[in-house]
Amino acid sequence: KYIMANNGVLPDEPHKTFDTILTLDFGSQYTHLITRRLRELNVYSEMLPCTQKLQDLSWKPKGIILSGGPYSVYDDDAPHVDPAIFELGVPILGICYGLQEIAWHNGKNVVAGTEREYGHSELKAKRFDGHVDLLFKDLEDDLKVWMSHGDKLGALPPSFHIIATTKNAPFAGIAHENKPLYGIQFHPEVTHTPRGIKLLENFAVGICKAKQDWTMDKFVDKELARIRALVGEKGQVLGAVSGGVDSTVAAKLMHEAIGDRFHAVLVDNGCMRLNECEQVKKTLTEHLGINLTVIDASDLFLDGLKGITDNPEAKRKFIGGTFIDVFEAEALKIEKAAANSPKAGKIEWFLQGTLYPDVIESISFKGPSATIKTHHNVGGLPERMMNGQGLKLIEPLRELFKDEVREMGRKLGIPHDLIMRHPFPGPGIAIRVLGEVTREQVAIARKADYIFIEEIKAAGLYDQISQAFAALLPVKAVGVMGDKRVHQQVISLRAVQTTDFMTANIFRFDWDFLERVSTRIVNEVDGVCRVEYDLTSKPPGTIEME
């Protein structure tokens, strides 16, 4: 069994060094936004499932937020918090289901409403001696809020009073008379509640007195110290890099922390973008000073891909499996060489660029019947390697959202182009060459992709697009070129905009732009006589083609 580096091994985790608001998740689709908004306020926040037992928590939050959720508190199998949180003495804010949970805990008077309430509402904060409650401080008396609920409080719980109302919700905001216990029926974390962030600030900073000291500078300093303490004077760390944002930022951080005792490995699978391997190598070694080994395994990958014609899953599996083989062999070599170095010790750690959304995904509350996955499934490094070689995971980005990773990258001096780079799948161009992947097909797709991205950058559109690429369709169409009839393949261009990659819209280029790209591709890429633009949103399409 491997040890999770961040699982209580060191005393320095962020929730122990930063004032932290704990968000308990009841399965709302917005829970992560609560965490996100608090971080935007420079208040550190972490999410745990609502089933978290207080006695198992090794740190004390400054305050607790109970999220919304799809259940009804009065149902037999409805989730409930550990009642011990109400005895902890820290402020608690219940949002929607969270409010109903507080009411349920205080008298059980929650019922199904006669009408559901979805959408906008006008909230009126109540005045007491001319002042609104602390929770609504500096907020206009008429506040636009967003509601999404079917249940309601049957009555005010004992010892509570009303602090805000809407036309349909007499208990839109309640507070305890002498304890810092608050409940609101609306969602302050969504953008449909424009001043919601101020309300969260009132709670976290005004009521919980959390320090607003979650800044990237501070986190980087603490994280460097944490990595050094974790790895020790001689310990060595191994990690794979791809040229993507996460692995580059993680690698640069490791380099800052332990210098050449961090070994980055880049596996060239023959399916990277045009000139990408050289470029990544140049940036990482020359610009960022990272100790990098590049392994050219392109023949191994491209030979093995031969004959996989109609099975995207088989392609992905083959590439994933081969990657592990190559990486593992290299790890053994580096380990052997390292063992002979007097300055350094054994390679004990494996770096992984896991981000907070993966962690959230793995610990979100999935409902009374679903079993909750643990952190241990996050990532995807083969068990075989972890167990076989006894490597322990080190995941310095596991508390960060993507934009925080980018901010860290900027602080560490990583070039803008790399920080804003579109995601690129592990199997690379292999899943953008539909059908069989051959050297010739990869070369065609690569060249077309290069032209497309070059034009997007030239038009200043790159940062507005979430992901763009060219794919090669394995069909032939007729064309006429230089008065000659040709029978050649088709390139499909795809560009999407999305915030979370769960859903996506196509990017609306102007026709001149698309025409320019099409002309260039047909002229410059041998073997292509037509260019199409993919108009499929996600869903029903996926972002990649395979």
Binding site for ligand GLN (CB under 6 A): 28, 68-72, 96-97, 148-151
- Angle at the Cα of 473 from the Cα atoms of 467 and 477, rounded to 5 degrees: 135
Judged by beta carbon, residue 115 or residue 483, the one nearer ligand GLN is 115
Minimal CB distance to ligand GLN: which residue? 68
Helix count (H) and strand count (E) of the chain?
15, 20
CA pseudo-torsion sign 451, 452, 458, 463 = negative
- Spatial separation of the C-alpha atoms in residues 522 and 490, rounded to whole Å: 9
Can you tell me the distance from the alpha carbon of 361 to that of 32, in angstroms, rounded to the nearest whole number?
9
Tell me how far, at minimum, the Cβ of 370 lies from ligand GLN, in Å: 17
Q: What 3-state class would DSSP assign to 438?
A: coil
Active site residues: 96, 187, 189
- The length of the chain in residues reads 546
Q: Do the beta carbons of residue 271 and residue 308 sit within 8 Å?
A: no
Close Cβ partners of 323 (under 8 Å, ≥ 6 residues apart):
267, 269, 426
Q: How far is the CB of 80 from ligand GLN (least distance, A)?
A: 13
Asked if residues 400 and 222 have their Cβ atoms less than 8 Å apart, the reply is no
Smallest gap from Cβ 76 to ligand GLN, in A, equals: 15
Please, which residue, 184 or 517, has the CB nearer to ligand GLN? 184
b/e per residue 392-420 (b: at least 16 CB within 10 A): bbbbbbbbbbbebbbbbbebbebeeebbe
Q: SS3 for 297-314, per residue?
A: CHHHHHHHHCCCCCCHHH
| Gap between the Cα atoms of 4 and 386, Å rounded | 11
Which C-beta is closer to ligand GLN: that of 104 or that of 450?
104
User: Shortest Cβ distance from residue 389 to ligand GLN (Å)?
Assistant: 45
Q: How far is the CB of 152 from ligand GLN (least distance, A)?
A: 7
